[in-house]
Amino acid sequence: MNKIILITGGAGFIGSHVVRQFVTNYPQYHIVNLDALTYAGNLENIVDIATFPNYTFEKGDITDILFVEKLFLKYNFDGVIHLAAESHVDRSIADPMAFVLTNVIGTVNLLNTAKNAWKSNFEGKRFYHVSTDEVYGELHNLDEFFVETTKYNPRSPYSASKASSDHFVRAYHNTYKFPVIISNCSNNYGPNHFPEKLIPLMINNIRNKKPLPVYGKGENVRDWLYVIDHARAIDVIFHNGIIGETYNIGGNNEWKNIDLVKLLCSTMDEKLGRKKGESEELITYIADRAGHDLRYAINASKLMNELGWSPSVTFEEGLAKTVDWYLSNWDWIDHITNGDYQKYYEEMYKIG
Ligand code: NAD
Ligand code: TYD
């Protein structure tokens, strides 16, 4: 069936994989990628599908009321998959207001514009909001996992802004019967991950023999999922999820930060032909992140049992694919670290 789907944040890490998943698997859909190209947006992430006939890029800000209204008039969207966000916890500690603007106000602007454009006739429409497990707060006991009914307890400005946006999405469903679906996913890793986040930062620093900054004692635990498996889950939930429902997405794959960093060191040493243990010497313990959440762990059994999703790769396979991708794409990371990534591609796409 023909559909016009708006994906927001499709030049970012996860959004670029979601855009590719939809553009390549659904030639009958038209995918419109709306992205403001903030520091985290990089058109190089989706250069391979940029000229596909069922794909259009629109540069714009989700907080811009008039722009978003015009976009909904220009395209008669059947669905929205909303990923655009400020996404880095450390930045949210330094500048919370940027997170309120994009994550809260931007999301409400999209909800409101879609509601008005769809004129309360929601037949066949859906608004899919992509969220995080960080809204649930932190876990202490090893036998505890986040389920869809876990009480919200956000503890960083990032997670508070995402929790707030989730509340607005549910409020639109309750108040206006607006057709929403939410998913809350654990930490992602994979190709095109911006090198301010743990895994790509460590890979790049190991390559450059720079210090590997581990916060606190490295005891914090994250549950890692390969980004392409997140994109596959979003596809399944968008098509088969029940309106009004929430689905947790996770890989059942918990790692203490320090163990993960050591694994990256040994993997990179082997791939780069370095002496065993060489990169571990770069590990540098630094002051802990303010309010650092101890442990996240997702129970994804609702998604697995009700919609039949499961991860396609093990962590060993996903991490090997990720390291191999960085080893063959140093240009990608160099363009980011030298600041060229936006200029070059904006010119190529005649944007700005
Ligand atoms: P990212 O920071 O890599 O990308 C965000 C994208 O949104 C960028 O392309 C950026 O240019 C765009 N954007 C930011 N502000 C915008 C605005 N005002 N208007 C339009 N576009 C704007 O983020 P990501 O890691 O790909 O995360 C995508 C989504 O998934 C976010 O909503 C995030 O909360 C959620 N999520 C991320 C993770 C993770 O591990 N990275 C896990 C669970 C959920
Ligand atoms: P991050 O990739 O920023 O994701 P999130 O904070 O959303 O989970 O960080 C993952 C974990 O790694 C988190 O516990 C903080 C830690 N960390 C470090 O120890 N050093 C670093 O340089 C970074 C960026 C993160």
What is the residue-wise DSSP string for 38-105? -TT--GGGGGGGTT-TTEEEEE--TT-HHHHHHHHHHS--SEEEE------HHHHHH-HHHHIIIIII
Query: What is the domain range of residue 58?
Result: 3-189+227-252+297-313+341-351
Q: Are 167 and 151 in contact (CB under 8 A)?
A: no
CA of 198 to the centre of ligand 2 (A): 5
Residue 348's pLDDT is: 58
Q: Are 185 and 246 in contact (CB under 8 A)?
A: no
Residue 342 has, within 13 A of its CA and on its CB side, a CA count of 13
The answer to whether position 285 is within a domain reads: no
The CA-CA-CA angle for residues 236, 239, 241, to 5°, reads: 75
Q: Would the CA dihedral through 2, 172, 157, 295 be positive or negative?
A: negative
The answer to whether position 222 is within a domain reads: no
Residue 347's pLDDT is: 60
pLDDT at 81 over 50: yes
The answer to whether position 282 is within a domain reads: no
The answer to whether position 30 is within a domain reads: yes
The stretch 161-177 carries a mean pLDDT of 98
Residue 282's pLDDT is: 98
For the Cβ of 341 lying below 6 angstroms from any atom of ligand 1, the answer is no
Ligand in closest contact with the CA of 264: 2
Q: Are 269 and 202 in contact (CB under 8 A)?
A: no
The answer to whether position 283 is within a domain reads: no
Banded model confidence at residue 340, pLDDT cuts 50, 70, 90: confident
CA nearest to 208, candidates 274, 134, 141? 274
The answer to whether position 83 is within a domain reads: yes
Q: Which ligand 2 atom minimizes the distance to the CA of 199?
A: 2
Residue 307 makes CB contacts below 8 A (sequence gap 6+) with: 236, 237, 240, 241, 247
- Burial level of 188, CB count in 10 A (0-12/13-18/19+)? buried
pLDDT at 305 over 70: yes
Ligand in closest contact with the CA of 34: 1
Residue 341's pLDDT is: 82
Which amino acid residue places its CA nearest to atom 17 of ligand 2? Answer: 198
For the Cβ of 222 lying below 6 angstroms from any atom of ligand 2, the answer is yes
Cα 27 from Cα 21, distance rounded (Å)? 11
The answer to whether position 41 is within a domain reads: yes
Q: Is the pTM higher than 0.95? A: yes
Residue 77 makes CB contacts below 8 A (sequence gap 6+) with: 4, 5, 6, 32, 114, 117, 125
Residue 351's pLDDT is: 52
Q: What is the pLDDT of residues 210-263, one digit of tens each?
A: 999 999 999 999 999 999 999 999 999 999 999 999 999 999 999 999 999 999
Q: Are 226 and 249 in contact (CB under 8 A)?
A: no
Q: Looking at the chain, which runs of residues are DSSP E strands?
A: 3-8, 29-35, 55-59, 79-82, 126-132, 180-185, 187-189, 212-215, 221-226, 246-249, 254-256, 283-286
Residue 350's pLDDT is: 58
Among 19, 38, 201, name the best residue to mutate to test ligand 1's pocket (greatest count of ligand atoms within 8 A of Cβ).
38
The terminus-to-terminus CA distance of the chain in angstroms comes to 34
3-class DSSP state of 249:
strand
CATH number at residue 24: 3.40.50.720
Among 222, 262, 295, name the best residue to mutate to test ligand 2's pocket (greatest count of ligand atoms within 8 A of Cβ).
222
The CA-CA-CA angle for residues 322, 290, 139, to 5°, reads: 70
**DSSP classification of residue 35:** E
pLDDT at 349 over 70: no
CA of 306 to the centre of ligand 1 (A): 27
Indicate the number of domains in the chain.
1
The answer to whether position 94 is within a domain reads: yes
Which amino acid residue places its CA nearest to atom 33 of ligand 1? Answer: 87
φ/ψ (deg, to 5) at 293: -65, 135
Which amino acid residue places its CA nearest to atom 21 of ligand 2? Answer: 198
For the Cβ of 201 lying below 6 angstroms from any atom of ligand 2, the answer is yes
Among 86, 136, 159, 215, name the best residue to mutate to test ligand 2's pocket (greatest count of ligand atoms within 8 A of Cβ).
215
- Burial level of 289, CB count in 10 A (0-12/13-18/19+)? middle
Banded model confidence at residue 207, pLDDT cuts 50, 70, 90: very high
